[in-house]
Amino acid sequence: MHVFITGGAGFIGSHLAAYHLSRGDHVYVVDNLSTGSLSNIEAFRGNPHFRFVEADILHWGDLGRAVAWADRIYHMAAVVGVKKVLEDPVAVMATNMSGTEKLLRAIHSGGWNPQVIIASTSEVYGFNPKSSFAETDDIVLRSGGRLRWAYAVTKLADEFLAFAYARNYGLNIVVVRLFNTIGPNQVGHYGMVVPSFIQQAVRNAPLTVYGDGEQTRSFCDVRDTVVALDRLAACPAAWGEVVNVGNDQEISIRGLAELTIQRAHSASTLQFIPYQEAYGEEFEDVTHRRPVLDKLRTLTGFAPEWKLDDTLDDLVAIERTKRLCVA
């Protein structure tokens, strides 16, 4: 199989590359390295089945040839992370919407119909008051704090673009709403909570919890996520659909911090930081984000294998190894 991954040097994209290379597939990655890292794909650079190009898909001249080559496309290129979104909302809008439209146009123009995964986000559910979110539930975003929700709005626009192309041109597209993917190689630079907690716990430093920590999230190991994406892409019944992808086990951010300290056998304490101080502006976070996974299970039979405790143990061990190497 020929697999093309935009944003393939990023966190999830690089795991998709590793997954497909392990199966003997040919993998072509493009990434502008704005948030991706060469270190994420360094292990693949000598593999004859792997090709990497540093480029921005908004301006890359070989996009048409790449999509015509591919049997499957994972569109993971996006500006992500709350801090990054607040720092550079212009880049968020340009990359997340224009990049998706350019990719879909290239697929249609190429006359070839590969399997396509378009990455969306659980953030599109916004402030819907339901305790867990199914794909048919309403999208509820506040009128205030507009830049905070730029990422969600762009991803929702990506969804509409994908459905328009799927309906009008019969493209084999699955839109996936990802719920808080975590795992090896994720960094905390842009507001990702788990890698930040892991680094702080291993250093025995205070774990910084934004707000009161009572907001809840559901975390899915990236090694489970890539399996779910692979199965969805290969499932004709999923083409033209939007599907939640994640783990439906829920935990508060305070509970996550306490669990991280426990798994790391750390002497860390908790430090609560107001959103205003953390982000430099008025900020309202959603109180909960838990997926309903019935559709994913029905389509693919998928069930997560990684428990949160096991993922945290793995990340603690990796972080300790990194610190020993630096020392």
CATH of the domain at 142: 3.40.50.720
pLDDT at residue number 43:
95
User: Is 101's pLDDT higher than 80?
Assistant: yes
Assigned domain for 322 exists: no
pLDDT at residue number 92:
78
Assigned domain for 59 exists: yes
- Token digits of residue 8: 């393939």
Cα diameter, the chain: 59
The answer to whether 195 touches 322, Cβ cutoff 8 Å, is: no
Distance CA 251, CA 137 (A): 21
- Token digits of residue 180: 């808080």
pLDDT at residue number 19:
98
User: Is 156's pLDDT higher than 90?
Assistant: yes
pLDDT at residue number 146:
67
Assigned domain for 300 exists: yes
Question: Which residues are known catalytic residues?
Answer: 151
Assigned domain for 279 exists: no
Assigned domain for 79 exists: yes
Q: What is the mean pLDDT of residues 38-55?
A: 96
pLDDT at residue number 326:
64
User: Is 82's pLDDT higher than 80?
Assistant: no
The number of folded domains in the chain is: 1
pLDDT at residue number 227:
98
Assigned domain for 258 exists: no
Reported as a single tens digit per residue, the pLDDT across 254-293 is 999 999 999 999 999 999 998 777 666 556 678 899 999 9
Reported as a single tens digit per residue, the pLDDT across 214-249 is 999 999 999 999 999 999 999 999 999 999 999 999
Average pLDDT of every residue of the chain: 92
Beta strands per DSSP E along the chain: 2-6, 26-31, 50-54, 72-75, 115-121, 172-178, 181-182, 207-210, 216-218, 220-221, 241-245, 250-252, 270-273
Distance CA 232, CA 222 (A): 15
12 pLDDT band, cuts 50/70/90, is very high
- Token digits of residue 12: 């999830």
pLDDT at residue number 111:
87
User: Is 87's pLDDT higher than 80?
Assistant: no
Reported as a single tens digit per residue, the pLDDT across 120-153 is 999 999 999 999 999 999 999 877 656 778 888 9
- Give the domain extent around 97: 2-182+220-247+289-305
pLDDT at residue number 81:
66
Assigned domain for 237 exists: yes
pLDDT at residue number 188:
79
Assigned domain for 198 exists: no
Nearest partner of 161 among 114, 123, 107, judged by Cα: 107
More confident residue, 145 or 8: 8
